[in-house]
Structure 1
Amino acid sequence: MSLPLFLVPDLPVGDHWRLDGPEGHHAANVQRLSPGEALLLCDGRGGLRQAVVAAAHKGALDLDLGELKQVPAPDPRITVVQGIAKGERAELAVQLMTELGVDRIVPWQAARSIARWKDAKPVERWRSTVREAVKQSRRAWLPEVTDARTTKQLSLTGTVLLLHEEASEPLSTVPLDGDITLVVGPEGGIAPEELAAFPDAVPVRLGPEVLRTSTAGAAALAALSVRLGRW
Structure 2
Amino acid sequence: MTLPAFLSDAVGGAAVGASVLLDGDEGRHAATVKRIRVGEQVVLTDGSGTSAVCSVTGTAKSSLTLSVVSTSFAERATPTITVVQALPKGDRGELAVEVLTEIDVDRIVPWAASRSVAVWKGERAAKGLAKWRATAREATKQARRSWLPEVAELTSTAEVAALIGEVDVALVLHEDAEQALAEVSFDGASSVLVVVGPEGGISDEELAAFEGARAVRLGSSVLRTSTAGVAAVAAILSRTDRWR
TM-score range, shorter chain: over 0.9
Question: Do structure 1's residue 79 and structure 2's residue 82 form an aligned pair?
Answer: yes
> Quick check: 2:11–2:20 contact (8 Å CA) kept in 1?
no
1:6 aligns with 2:6: yes
Which of residues 130, 135, 143 in structure 1 aligns to 2:141?
135
Alignment of 1:100-119 (within 5 A): 100-119=103-122
Q: Distance in 2 between matches of 1:206 and 1:37?
A: 46
Native 8 Å contact 1:15 1:64 kept in 2: yes
Which ranges in structure 1 are unaligned for 5 or more consecutive residues? none
CA–CA distance in structure 1, aligned partners of residues 102 and 168 of structure 2: 22
Q: Deviations over 1:90-140 (max 9, x none)?
A: 111111111111101111100101111112221121111111110111100
TM-score normalised over the length of structure 1: 0.95
Please state whether the residue corresponding to 2:159 is helix, strand or coil.
Answer: coil
Query: For the residues of structure 1 that align with 2:2 and 2:183, how far apart are their CA atoms?
Result: 34
What's the TM-score once normalised by structure 2's chain length? 0.90
* Residue equivalent to 1:37: 40
Aligned CA RMSD, in angstroms, stands at 1.4
- Are 1:60 and 2:76 matched, yes or no? no
In structure 1, what is the equivalent of residue 154 of structure 2?
A: 148
SS in 2 for 1:175: coil
Tell me if structure 2 keeps the 8 A contact 1:101–1:221. no
1:20 and 1:152 map into 2 onto residues whose CA distance is 40
- Unpaired runs of 5+ residues, structure 2, are none
The one-letter amino acid of 2:203's match is A
Contact 2:78 2:242 (C-alpha < 8 Å) held by counterparts: no
Distance (Å, rounded) in 1 between the aligned partners of 2:66 and 2:158: 49
1:220 Cα offset (Å): 1.2
Counterpart contact for 1:172–1:227, Cα < 8 Å: no
Separation in 2, partners of 1:209, 1:43: 39
SS at match of 1:122: helix
Return structure 1 stretches of 4+ with deviation > 3 angstroms. Answer: none
% identical equivalent positions? 49
2:43 partner amino acid:
L
Aligned-partner SS, 2:104: coil
Output the CA distance in 1 between the equivalents of 2:191 and 2:3. Answer: 31
Q: CA deviation at 1:219?
A: 1.1
* Residue in structure 2 matched with residue 17 of structure 1 by the alignment: 20
SS for the counterpart of 1:153 is helix
1:2 deviates by 2.2
TM superposition shift of 1:170: 2.2
Where 2:47 maps in the other structure, the secondary structure is: coil
* SS of equivalent to 1:227: coil
Change (3 A) 1:65 1:57: same
Q: Say if 1:106 and 1:146, in contact at 8 Å, map to a contact too.
A: yes
SS at match of 2:236: helix
